[in-house]
Amino acid sequence: MASFVARCVARPPERRDVSRTGTTEWIRTTKRIKARDGHRCTWVDAGVRCSGPADEVDHVIEHIDGGPDDDTNLRSLCLPHHRAKTAAHANRTRWSKAARRRTPPPHPGLVGGGG
Ligand SMILES: [Zn+2]
């Protein structure tokens, strides 16, 4: 038992990698974007802007697709709209990956064979 306590006490603090969105700079950016957008969701559907709160800051062009962290690519969204947009992006990505898998390159043994 004593050794268990000793291990717990002696263990060095866990090193946690701070995510890109966990930095003070990102937090400052989200505050600025939300203020710019009037602390309201900017989603527009059929010409009507969502009346939800600015829960999160969204990349118009996803960061994973090369979208920058600058203000022109950022907008405030409510949680439901951010989730819907993220899910739609994930679906598109999944479908395009599946499409690439469906068209494999021709097998080298079959190219020009024809029999
Ligand atoms: Zn919304």
Would you tell me how many other CB atoms lie within 10 Å of the CB of residue 67? 15
Q: pTM (2 decimals)?
A: 0.67
Domain ranges of the chain: 21-101
Q: Name the residue with higher pLDDT: 23 or 9.
A: 23
Is residue 15 over pLDDT 60? no
Band (93; pLDDT cuts 50, 70, 90) = confident
Query: Within a 13 Å sphere around the CA of 104, how many CA atoms are in the beta-carbon half?
Result: 5
Report the number of secondary-structure helices (H) and strands (E) in the chain: 3, 4
Please tell me the distance between residue 26's alpha carbon and the centre of ligand 1 in angstroms.
21
Please tell me the distance between residue 66's alpha carbon and the centre of ligand 1 in angstroms.
24
Please tell me the distance between residue 24's alpha carbon and the centre of ligand 1 in angstroms.
25
Q: How far apart are CA 41 and CA 37, in angstroms?
A: 7
